Amino acid sequence: MELSAKPPTAEIIKASKRFDTGVLALSEVSLSIGSGEFVTLLGPSGCGKSTILRLLAGLEIPSAGTVHAPADDGAQQYATAFVFQESTLMPWASVFNNVWLPLRLQGFSRSHSRARVEAALKSVGLEDFAQAFPRQLSGGMKMRVSIARALITEPKILLMDEPFAALDDLSRHRLNNDLLHWQQERGIATLFVTHNIAEAVFLSSRVLVMGARPGRILHERTIGEPYPRTSIFRDSDRFSNHCRALASALTLSTTPSESS
C-alpha cells in the first residue's frame, strides 16, 4: 500500500504508561492513524486498549513517549469524540437534548442548533425519536443516539471503546454496516476497540493485535478490501482468511513469552 504524504491524524510514539498503582499498562507503544483511516485494536482483556484511547483523548498522560492528537480549536471545540460501550446518555433528557449537549456546551442555543441536531438524528435513522427518552429506546437505538452526539461536532478523530459489545448480533451487524457508512461519508479517522475478530475485519483498513503485561502491539494486519464493504465481503474466502490469521495472531499474543 502506498503511504500517504499527509501527516497522520493522530500518532503515538513509543508511549509507555505506568499507573500510580505500579501497573505497567503500556510499554513503548507506537501507532498512527491516517486521515480517514479505520484502525482497530484487538487484544486480550487488560492489554491496554482503553488506555491507548484515553491517551489519545487526553484523559491520561503517558509516563514516557509522545502522543499527538488533533487539537481542539476555537471554531470547533471537540476535535476528538469518544463513544463508550455504555451509551452514557443523560436519562432525564430527551434524545434531542442529548445530541444537542456538545453544541450547548460550546454555547450554541437550542434554536441555533436545531437543524444540526435534526440532521444528525436523521443520519442515524432516529428522526422520529427526538422527543423520546433513553429509557424508551432499545440498546441499538441508544448507541445510535450516542454516535449522533459524537458526530455532531464533526470531530477529526472518533475513538470507540467496544461500542457494540453489549448488543445482540442483529443490532451489531446493522450498526457495523451503518458505522462504516457514516465514517466513510465523513472521512473521520477512527480508532476502534473490539474483542470480536469478524467485526474488526469487516470494519478496518488495519488491525493492530496487542499482547498483555505489559501492553504492546505485536502484530499488524492490513485489510486491503476496498470500501464500501458489503455482505459479499463477509461471505468471502478473503474475509475468512483475515479472520483466521488474526485469530492465530491473537492466540500467540496471549501465550506468555519465555522472556516475560
Ligand X SMILES: Nc1ncnc2c1ncn2[C@@H]1O[C@H](COP(=O)(O)OP(=O)(O)OP(=O)(O)O)[C@@H](O)[C@H]1O
Interface with ligand X (CB under 6 A): 19, 21, 23, 25, 43, 45-51, 215
Identify which of residues 37 and 60 has a Cβ nearer to ligand X in the complex.
60
Helix (H, G, I), strand (E, B) or coil at 237: helix
Q: Which is nearer to ligand X, 23 or 243 (CB)?
A: 23
What's the grid cell of residue 34?
Answer: 491516517
Nearest distance, CB of residue 19 and ligand X, angstroms: 3
**Residue 210 is placed in which grid cell?**
496487542
**What are the two backbone dihedrals, phi and then psi, of residue 128, each rounded to the nearest 5 degrees?**
-90, 5
| Least distance between ligand X and beta carbon 46 (Å) | 4
Nearer to ligand X, 43 or 134 (CB): 43
- Provide the minimum distance between the beta carbon of 158 and ligand X in the complex, in angstroms, as a whole number: 17
- Whether residue 148 contacts residue 94, with contact meaning beta carbons closer than 8 Å, is answered with no
Q: What is the DSSP letter of 129?
A: G
Nearer to ligand X, 146 or 194 (CB): 194
Please tell me what DSSP assigns to residue 8: P
Give the shortest CB-2-to-ligand X separation in angstroms: 31
Distance CA 155, CA 58 (A): 14
